[in-house]
Chains A and B, each alone.
Chain A
Amino acid sequence: MRNVIISACMALICFSTFAPAATVPVVPETRLQQLEQRAAKGATTTAGEYANELLDAAKQCIAEARINFSAGKESVATRQLELATIQLNAADAKAAEKELLEKVAVRRSELKKLEARLERFRQGEDN
């Protein structure tokens, strides 16, 4: 009976230690790969043109998270993954903002030219 209890406890200890060791790294690895792919894809879009520094920071963050996961510093690595995600979101948002602002600036400039032309018409200079 004693031996049974001891072997059951040993088995429980083994499962409790090996099972997380086998499953836990899978989730961060998938997440890391997803973020790396997203960062790589972002570099080919407008984010790469308008917010490259944020993409670089995100890539660096992902690399550091990978190292920290490997070193067992899961808490820091998880924070770094969150930061990387937000940096990628920020890159997309910043790129969209800058692209739109450029478009606004171009259209505003065109509108000013048109308004100046209209004013010349009104004053009879362009007739």
Chain B
Amino acid sequence: MKWRYLILISAWCVTVSTAFAADKNKISAQLEAMRSTVETVAGKTEGNREAAADLDQARNALRYADDSFKAGKSMFGFGDLTPEAEKEIKISLDTAERATATALSRIEYVRATAELEAIEKQFAVVTGKLKLFEERKAEMERLRGEEIKCQVISKELETIKAEKTALVSQVEQLSGERNRADKLKIEQLELSRTVDELKTENARLTALQEKQTPEIKTAPVTAPVPDDQKKTIKK
């Protein structure tokens, strides 16, 4: 009977200690995992002081957790963790996790800053190129406008040329007519002068005839008329 009680008590102790050991192992594993995460992130800091400080806080928190884990065991280190120690470990783990996440945020911030800087540089380059293209486009549009204006002016020039040609022919026609008019005027002047001469001649001949008429009446001799006088009379 005593042996039976002894076996039962031993079995209970083994079960309980196994259960406690499982809990302890779980916490220990969590601490190790967190420590590994912290060191992995530490490899990415690349001289980022703020992130390094965050990771130091995470390491301190893990150290607190270790201390709580060691100090919080009841029954001279063989029993379960006290609730207060468990809570402290959980808080320390949360602290380490949050500090590590903060370090990652700061690392990401630095990376994003570098990316933004690169984007801004590329932005300036692309903007410069676009400006050149836009200026070229504006220049082309201006030249197209000039071309249209030139086409209009060219058409106007052709019209003016046609009008000029017509005017030149008109001028030539008028010049011809004027020349003809001038010639006629000259001819008219010549004719007028001839008429005047004839009138003068006529008057002279008339006077001569009148002078000779009494002589004829007294001596009706038929005097021969000079040839040049005959011609003048005929005219």
Contact = CB atoms under 8 A, between A and B. Distances in A.
Interface of A: 73, 75-76, 79-80, 82-83, 86-87, 89-90, 93-94, 96-97, 100-101, 103-104, 107-108, 110-111, 114-115, 117-118, 121, 126-127
B130 A83 contact: no
A45 to B, nearest CB: 16
A119 to B, nearest CB: 10
B94 A115 contact: no
Contact of A90 (B102, B123, B137): B102
Interface string B104-118: 011011001101100
Interface stretch (B73-81, B85-93, B214-222): B85-93
Main secondary structure of the interface of A (DSSP, over half): helix
4 interchain residue pairs of minimum CB distance: A93-B105, A121-B133, A79-B91, A90-B102
Main secondary structure of the interface of B (DSSP, over half): helix
B64 interface: yes
Interface residues of B, number: 35
B126 A83 contact: no
A118 B91 contact: no
A38 to B, nearest CB: 15
21 contacts: A75-B88, A76-B88, A79-B88, A82-B61, A83-B94, A83-B98, A86-B102, A89-B54, A90-B101, A90-B102, A93-B105, A93-B106, A93-B109, A96-B109, A97-B109, A100-B112, A110-B123, A114-B123, A114-B126, A115-B126, A126-B133
